[in-house]
Amino acid sequence: MTRKLLLRALAGETLPIPPIWMMRQAGRYLPEYRATREKAGDFLSLCYTPELAAEVTLQPIRRFGFDAAILFADILLVPQALGADLWFVTGEGPRLSTVTTSSDFDRLKPVDAIHETLAPVYETVRILSRALPSETTLIGFAGAPWTVATYMIAGRGTPDQGPAHTLKDEDRPLFEALLDRITEATVLYLSAQIEAGAEVVKLFDSWAGSLKGRDFDAYCVAPAARIVAALKDRHPGIPVIAFPREAGPRYEGFAKETGADCVALDNSVDARWAAKHVQTDGCVQGNLAPGHMVTGGKPLIEATRAICRAFAGGPHIFNLGHGITPDADADNVRLMIDTVRAGNWT
Ligand code: CP3
């Protein structure tokens, strides 16, 4: 059997055409997603109903033939599995019960209890590993500890992660205990996804950019390195993609510091800089601004080609720099894929 393209790129191979998938590829910009979500009732029911979660995971594969499918779930299922209340407010986003005191922390469940809540997610992975085309790679994922902690501490998304920074600065032992709990839960969660059939796992540190200096080392790099080491120990050969979004200059060296096989780049990174300073350590992924999926046209084609050209000399997975937005047009996704797969990007 010829090896799947995504796994070849992750193993460090330079391919003539990069494999391609898209963050949030199963999402509200697709009418078939909206129909299945309607059927499920609400977003969390969709996440916890394996047949429906598998269905929405497969929809973008059927429609576009992406090289990878990403498990449909959410990074906030881990806090819920640790005992936090979680709900989504339509048009606003997630809400959680907060962890800001030791008594809040003491009410959290021990890490091995997470599987009770997360078992349906593993079932989704099992369904997908049977249902996916043989050339499509299945990616599992979790939020990185810092990003998950920012939601657990604030009880919602925050523009500057203020409440998490406050807890870090005012009660560092409690903050670090929380990060440790999430780190351990994440290892168990990703291991279980791999045992169920995930072939690659990705760690989303969406708010890495607000950690500076030693905080970046202690709360972004160190937990990612711990998770990667534990996974490599339990499941040798399973590649890990790390996404320290908005890490800026700290993208340089990130793969070496954490042991990740691939670093995902947000769209603020200069691709030619990243080719020289990040891709030299292994595979890179991402970088196309998601706004092109709304606006399309010649700028989309040019930006797509520029990324393909910049990364043509090394291992590369084509992707956006962040998730596709609900107002995106599926025709623009098709145009991006065709542009990548046509090659000849001059
Ligand atoms: O990428 C995929 O297609 C796989 C599924 C996936 C979702 N969320 C589904 C989802 C993945 C990998 C995530 C990751 C996630 N979730 C992150 C990290 C990546 C990032 O975007 O920075 C974060 C921070 C979350 C937390 C989260 N989930 C927020 C803040 C929101 C609300 C904002 C929004 O887009 O509505 C969600 C909801 C969510 N997660 C949706 C989807 C498809 C939309 C829910 C809906 O259908 O109403």
**CATH number of the domain residue 146 falls in:** 3.20.20.210
β-bridge partners, 263? 242, 284
Find the 76 Cα to ligand 1 centroid distance in Å. 9
Decide if 200 contacts 240 (C-beta within 8 A): yes
Mention every residue, 6+ apart, whose C-beta is less than 8 A from residue 289. Answer: 267, 303, 320, 321
Question: What ipTM describes this predicted complex?
Answer: 0.94
Tell me, using a 6 A CB cutoff, whether residue 157 lines ligand 1: yes
Number of domains comprising the chain: 1
Find the 253 Cα to ligand 1 centroid distance in Å. 27
115 is in an annotated binding site: no
> Percentage of the chain with pLDDT > 90?
99
Has 37 been annotated as catalytic?
A: yes
126-163 pLDDT, tens digit per residue, is: 999 999 999 999 999 999 999 999 999 999 999 999 99
In this structure, which residue's CA is closest to atom 44 in ligand 1?
Answer: 27
Has 305 been annotated as catalytic?
A: no
CA distance 116 to 104: 21
What range does the domain containing 161 cover? Answer: 5-342
Helix, strand, coil in percent for the chain, rounding step 5: 55, 15, 35
Residues of the chain with pLDDT under 50: none
Q: Which of 23, 45, 75 is the pocket-test mutation for ligand 1 (most atoms within 8 Å of CB)? A: 75
CA distance 74 to 93: 12
Buried b (16+ CB within 10 A) or exposed e, 187-226: bbbbbbbbebbbbbbbbbbbbbbbbeeeebebbbbbbbbb
254-266 pLDDT, tens digit per residue, is: 999 999 999 999 9
151 is in an annotated binding site: yes
* pTM listed for this prediction: 0.97
* Torsion on CA atoms 192, 217, 290, 79, rounded to nearest 10: 40
Question: Where are the alpha helices (H) located in the chain, listed in sequence order?
Answer: 5-10, 31-40, 43-48, 50-64, 77-81, 102-106, 114-131, 145-154, 162-170, 172-196, 213-216, 222-234, 254-258, 271-277, 292-295, 297-310, 330-342
- Backbone Cα Rg of the chain: 19
Has 217 been annotated as catalytic?
A: no
Tell me, using a 6 A CB cutoff, whether residue 93 lines ligand 1: yes
Find the 296 Cα to ligand 1 centroid distance in Å. 23
Decide if 205 contacts 150 (C-beta within 8 A): no
